[in-house]
Amino acid sequence: MRAHCQKGKAAAPRINSIELRRYLAEELKKSKRYSSPVDYRNDTDREIAFRQESNFYYLTGCNTPSSYVLAAYQPGTSLDTTPSVELFIPEANLADMMWSVPPVSLAAAQEIHDVTRVDHPPALPAAVAKLMKALPGALFHVLPRASPLFPAIEEEYLQPILAAENQGGAVTDFYLLSALHRARLTKDAHEISLIQKACDISSRAHEVVMRVLGAAVKGGIVAGAGAGVERPLLPGEWLIEKEAEAEAIFVASCRRENAVHQAYLPIVAASTRASTLHYCCNGGNDKEFAWGPVGAHDHQNRNSLSSGRDLKPQVLLIDAGCEWTCYAADITRTMPVGNGGKFTPEAKAIYELVLEMQKACMEILKPGLHWDAAHLLSHRVLVRGFQKLGIFKSPSSPNSGSWASEEAILASGQSTAFYPHGLGHSLGMDVHDVPSASKPAVNTTIAENNKAVELGHTSFYEFLRLRVKLEEGMVVTVEPGIYFSPHLLASVRESALIDHEVLKRYESVGGVRIEDVVHITAEGMENLTKVKSDVEWIEGVCSGAL
């Protein structure tokens, strides 16, 4: 959010925003924030990729490690409307310059950042002491000091405040984080443009993977062609035949467009592994696609890839998004692999149902709607769809009755065995953004209604990360899914509500998730995700026809 504090681009740093002031005014008279230091791997001097602490970046737009910001507010004075903002960035160290890019100079930082003053961290204690003298009794708000989730603050910087405690001053780490989280929950136009950019790059990366798959189906990429013993394969020459190859293409496409970080570890799961929700580490993203004979009902397109083997018809689920200047994308596409780049009838039926769940929810999104209601609707559409497919029984099933009605199945909570996670979450600087503001301890739907039937089964909400009413300016993901995970299905193996013979036919689909990023607007929502998801387009690209 550099532009927030770049001179000439925005009038004031984020710390001045009306939105933040609204939340902070009650709680924040003076704040002191500090950014992450560069971390090193284990016991070595090898840097771990630096990513600025989100709250610090939100306030400052400053991407320099080991920096501090000191802001002073005083309600009812000029410091209320124009807080004093002092930024402390490390001095370039000659001994370090041969290893690393040095921090910007003070003069350059003063040019870049619209702050009252820029200095080096050793000047911070004196600045704090000066403020304490000018504002006796002021509260110093800092991020939680005892938490490993936030950078440690040097105790010496707190000494002037502690020394002033007998004049009523105190350090508190209770209010700042919750105020920041509330402010971060809604985004302004500049933040939306950064999320849009992250989504655009990520959308193209998803499409690139699909197009490489499609090119191979069409015979445009031939195993090993171009490479002999003399040279390795060049980008564009290798087939995607395993999860790692798909991941590599996705990440390369983002990096090519200057995205520095992925917003989270990509999840790249083929075949039944798509039922593992966060399949990314400890052996995730690491398997070959499934090989085997193509079934009788499959399309007659080309399937043979390297080694003369046939890819089994399967799905490839990619949940991946890059970050753009500390703002995230979070997009999932599920695509057909093998079978000539077409879904099997079972995978197609599940895919279309997940898409229907997503569309139904998107249609009702608008400010004032409680996210619980959208989540409940996604379960309702799933139950209805499963009844049509015959996986869930219905009152018209043989030997059935009203005990198998849509409401009864919803009330049973058994749809969570297929769809255990939430419909989506707030997205912003972090993928699961601002947890404390997204999921308050007291849920207003429950408080208002106190009726389990209107909420469906309590299990629907166990992993729902957003439990508030939508507000204009929020950015959320809409990501329904349907999975056939042996672990989750264990709980419904004896269920009388399920036709187990029908269920068996769908289990090899593994899992389907479709995830888009949407911006809540005054009228409803705007989809920030450009890569398409309709079956015709996905199959067209993955089969090489489009």
- Nearest approach, Cβ of 431 to ligand GLY (angstroms)? 6
Alpha-carbon 257 to chain mean position: 19
Contacted by 119, from Mn ion, ligand GLY, none: CB < 5 to 8 Å by type: none
State the minimum distance, in angstroms, from the CB of residue 328 to ligand GLY.
9
Q: Report, in Å, the least distance between residue 517 CB and ligand GLY.
A: 10
Strands 117-119, 84-88: pairing kind: parallel
Angle between helices 535-542 and 345-364 (to 10 degrees): 130
Of 448-507, binders to Mn ion (CB under 5 A) are 477
Q: Which is nearer to ligand GLY, 13 or 422 (CB)?
A: 422
Among ligand GLY, Mn ion, none, partner that 241 touches (CB below 5 to 8 angstroms by kind): none
- Closer of 30 and 439 to Mn ion (Cβ): 439
Output the DSSP codes for 131-175.
HHHHSTTPEEE-S-SS-TTS----HHHHHHHHHTGGGT-EEE-SS
Fill in the per-residue mask, 319 to 338: x = in contact with Mn ion (CB under 5 A), - = not in contact. Answer: x----------x--------
Q: How far apart are CA 360 and CA 364, in angstroms?
A: 7
Q: How far is the CB of 513 from ligand GLY (least distance, A)?
A: 8
Burial of 312 (0-12, 13-18, 19+ CB in 10 A): buried
Residue 264 site contact among Mn ion, ligand GLY, none (CB < 5 to 8 Å, cut-off depends on kind)? ligand GLY
Least separation in angstroms between residue 329's CB and Mn ion is 9
Q: How far is CA 94 from CA 47, 106, 382, 513, in A?
A: 18, 15, 62, 51
* Nearest alpha-carbon partner for 199 in 272, 263, 150, 271: 263
Task: Select 86 or 515, whichever has its Cβ closest to Mn ion.
Answer: 515
State the minimum distance, in angstroms, from the CB of residue 532 to Mn ion: 17
The partner in contact with residue 430, picked from ligand GLY, Mn ion, none with C-beta cut-offs of 5 to 8 angstroms by kind, is none
What residue has token string 């499959």?
298
Residue 305's alpha-carbon distances to 243, 251, 538, in angstroms, are 15, 23, 20
Q: Cβ closer to Mn ion: 162 or 362?
A: 362
Q: What gap in Å lies between CA 354 and CA 378, rounded to an integer?
A: 9
Per the CB < 8 A criterion, the answer to whether 287 and 246 are in contact is: no
Binding residues for ligand GLY, rule: CB under 6 A, are 264, 319, 330, 431, 479, 515
Considering beta carbons, is residue 131 or 531 the nearer one to Mn ion? 531
Shorter beta-carbon distance to ligand GLY: residue 164 or 254? 254
- Name the minimum Å distance from CB 90 to ligand GLY: 33
For residues 212 and 331, which CB has a smaller minimum distance to ligand GLY in the complex? 331
Residue ranges in 260-319 that form contacts with Mn ion under rule CB under 5 A: 319
Q: Are 418 and 483 in contact (CB under 8 A)?
A: yes
Site for Mn ion in 508-537 (CB under 5 A): 515
| C-alpha span between 540 and 536 (Å, rounded) | 6
Beta strands in 412-488 (DSSP E): 475-478, 481-483
Residue 479 or 499: which CB sits closer to ligand GLY?
A: 479
Least distance (Å) between residue 479 CB and ligand GLY: 6
Given Mn ion, ligand GLY, none, residue 372, with its beta carbon under 5 to 8 Å by kind, binds none
**For residues 125 and 349, what is the distance between their CA atoms, to the nearest angstrom?**
64
Residue ranges binding Mn ion (CB under 5 A):
319, 330, 477, 515
